């Protein structure tokens, strides 16, 4: 249950901008972090385009445009990733003894789904920081600033996870861009209703509470959601619902047929979100 102080929040205060402590001054996409991380963006989203991806990989999207079958498009994407990054023959990409050539976009996703606080998750959060300018708020513990022990541990894990790998961040650029392509093919809407289960309200950074069930919270820069209320309730007694912009989805279960579908997990880029408390209050 939220405390009385939160219930007495001044409703005249309008929180639309992302706090400066949660963002970087630069990023690598078409909108700055203070806009894409804002509450206004959640309500009125726009496409997020990563610098250079569509130009460098224009041929991939031309091939995808020729294919009407979802499964075939997924195979085209995976084949392109294999060829572009030499995932099956890493020695042709310059892999030598000691290199971590087995660290691929699929292994990062698998690691995230197994435990969103381990090394693979640190790499994914670092990618969000670099591309979208949204700072990591939590990794094993709350990260309050750049001079705290949790931040040092996070930096160490992300450095270890990226060291001597095969363009992992560029692989994630293409994964995100393909995800956005597929979402655009499958729906003309801008939002998806998703759920998230937590155990305690202190897991959230609540910036404002408008009613007993309506809150504005600052999410971590990368988060797990599901489209099933019952599934979310397995992860916590408190279930939250949010209208998530398609442009903030990195992964959804049907993206690649037969790959990582068991958990029905959506990986969502953070920022400010208005959320509804569905249970646990």
User: For the residues of 45-82, what is the DSSP string, one character each?
Assistant: -----BTTHHHHTHHHHHHHHT---HHHHHHHHHHHHH
The Cα–Cα gap between 145 and 22 comes to 9
Q: For residue range 161-186, list pLDDT tens digits in order.
A: 998 888 999 999 999 999 999 999 99
Question: What is the total count of domains within the chain?
Answer: 1
- The DSSP code for 87 is S
* Residue 136's pLDDT band (cuts 50, 70, 90): very high
Which pTM was predicted?
Answer: 0.91
Q: What is the chain's mean pLDDT, rounded?
A: 90
pLDDT at 165: 86
3-state secondary structure of 145: coil
For the beta carbon of residue 39, count every other beta carbon within 10 angstroms.
20
pLDDT at 150: 95
- The maximal CA–CA distance of the chain, rounded, in angstroms, is 62
3-state secondary structure of 131: helix
Residue 116 sits in which domain range? 4-279
């Amino acid at each position: 249950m939220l405390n009385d102080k939160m219930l007495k929040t001044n409703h005249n205060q309008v929180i639309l901008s992302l706090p400066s402590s949660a963002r970087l001054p630069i990023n690598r996409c078409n909108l700055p972090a203070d806009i894409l991380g804002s509450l206004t963006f959640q309500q009125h989203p726009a496409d997020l385009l990563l610098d250079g991806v569509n130009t460098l990989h224009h041929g991939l999207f031309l091939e995808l445009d020729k294919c009407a079958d979802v499964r075939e498009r997924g195979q085209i994407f995976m084949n392109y990733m294999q060829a572009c990054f030499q995932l099956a023959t890493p020695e042709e990409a310059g892999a030598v003894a000691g290199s971590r050539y087995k660290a691929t976009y699929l292994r990062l996703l698998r690691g995230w789904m197994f435990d969103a606080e381990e090394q693979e998750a640190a790499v994914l959060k670092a990618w969000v920081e670099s591309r979208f300018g949204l700072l990591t708020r939590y990794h094993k513990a709350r990260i309050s600033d750049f001079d705290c022990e949790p931040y040092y541990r996070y930096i160490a894990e992300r450095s270890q996870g990226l060291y001597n790998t095969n363009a992992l961040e560029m692989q994630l650029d293409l994964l995100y861009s393909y995800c956005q392509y597929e979402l655009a093919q499958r729906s003309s809407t801008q939002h998806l209703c998703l759920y998230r289960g937590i155990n305690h309200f202190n897991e959230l950074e609540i910036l404002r509470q408008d009613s007993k069930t309506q809150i504005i919270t600052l999410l971590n820069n990368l988060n797990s959601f599901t489209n099933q209320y019952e599934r979310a309730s397995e992860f916590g007694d408190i279930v939250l619902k949010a209208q998530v912009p398609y442009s903030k989805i990195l992964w959804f279960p049907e993206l690649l047929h037969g790959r990582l579908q068991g958990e029905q997990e959506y990986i969502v880029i953070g920022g400010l979100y208005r959320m509804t408390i569905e249970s646990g209050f």
